[in-house]
Amino acid sequence: MRLTKRFMDWYQGNNDKEKETPKGGVKRVGYVLWNYAGRLVGANVLFLLCCIPIVTIPAALSALNRYLSAIYRVGYGFSLEDYWKEFKSDILKNLPAGVLTGALGFYSCYLLSLAGNFGKGTTHDVLIGCGIGVMIFAILIGGYYFVMSAMLDLGVGVLLKNTFLIMVLEWKLSMVIVITVVIAGGILLALAPYSLFLLLTIGVSFPQMVIYACVDRAVERRVLQPFEKLQSRRAGE
């Protein structure tokens, strides 16, 4: 019984013994991983199940980010019912951005594979460079857009506009996002098929938590703080 209670405390995040918890950044990500690993595993499995129809991947990613938002900001996640409602409501909203991100990803793979048909030279190097550039662009669009769609109640056009602006202005955080995706994908590919267990547990939710932490800081700095200053100015007039 004591072992069962310890497991449930670990899964539900009741093992929080710190008086002052980290508010953001790397420490907050580590804190969430240590105290809410069970919830990250549950969210990871649910995300993979929702991705079985490929067309629903954008909605599943947005719902995952909404779930991670609650864990990262407050310390608890949505229930399965909340996750399912969020998933259904986001299917059509996030489909255009999902198609754009997917198209860029496929085009990047096409350029990289096309480069293999040429020997080492100018054409080969140009195709490799363009392929990597398009892939980075796709990673950043997917990273920023789907997190912001879970954080902000805005239309697709406004979200895409903010995505393009913030990914350039916050170039340091953009580098962290790209490196996170490359490392996570590289580990899963390098250790395949043994990495299947990692993929089924925290192979998606943990890297996405790191991405969320980056975008959360960028949105706080570039969107929320300027908006609050504008509101305070209007209130003072």
pLDDT digits (tens, 9 = 90+) for 147-179: 999 888 888 899 999 999 999 999 999 999 999
Distances (CA, A) of 152 to 82, 194, 212, 230: 17, 38, 13, 17
pLDDT given for residue 15 in this prediction: 56
pLDDT given for residue 177 in this prediction: 96
* Domain-embedded: residue 211: yes
* Domain-embedded: residue 3: no
Can you give the pLDDT of all 237 residues of the chain as single tens digits? 566 766 666 555 565 554 567 777 888 888 888 888 888 898 899 999 999 888 999 999 999 998 898 888 877 656 777 777 788 887 888 899 999 999 999 999 999 999 888 878 888 899 999 999 999 999 999 999 999 998 888 888 999 999 999 999 999 999 999 999 999 999 999 998 899 999 999 999 999 999 999 999 999 998 888 877 777 777 766
The residue to which tokens 């069970």 are assigned: 38
pLDDT given for residue 111 in this prediction: 94
* Domain-embedded: residue 59: yes
pLDDT given for residue 158 in this prediction: 92
**Cα(172)–Cα(179) distance, integer angstroms:** 11
The residue to which tokens 């925290």 are assigned: 202
pLDDT given for residue 1 in this prediction: 59
Residue 219 lies in domain: 25-76+90-229
**Number of domains present in the structure of the chain:** 1
pTM over 0.75: yes
**Cα(60)–Cα(84) distance, integer angstroms:** 9
Helices (H), 13-152: 25-35, 37-50, 57-73, 80-89, 95-115, 122-151
* Domain-embedded: residue 84: no
* Domain-embedded: residue 189: yes
* Domain-embedded: residue 20: no
The residue to which tokens 């706080």 are assigned: 220
* Three-state secondary-structure class, residue 191: coil
**Angle subtended by helix axes 122-151 and 171-190, to nearest 10:** 110
- Residue 152 structure tokens: 């902000």
DSSP 8-state code for residue 94: T
Distances (CA, A) of 41 to 46, 78, 179: 9, 13, 22
**Cα(65)–Cα(149) distance, integer angstroms:** 9
**Angle subtended by helix axes 57-73 and 37-50, to nearest 10:** 170
**Cα(143)–Cα(135) distance, integer angstroms:** 12
Helices (H), 152-224: 156-169, 171-190, 196-201, 205-219
* Domain-embedded: residue 179: yes
* Domain-embedded: residue 9: no
DSSP 8-state code for residue 23: -
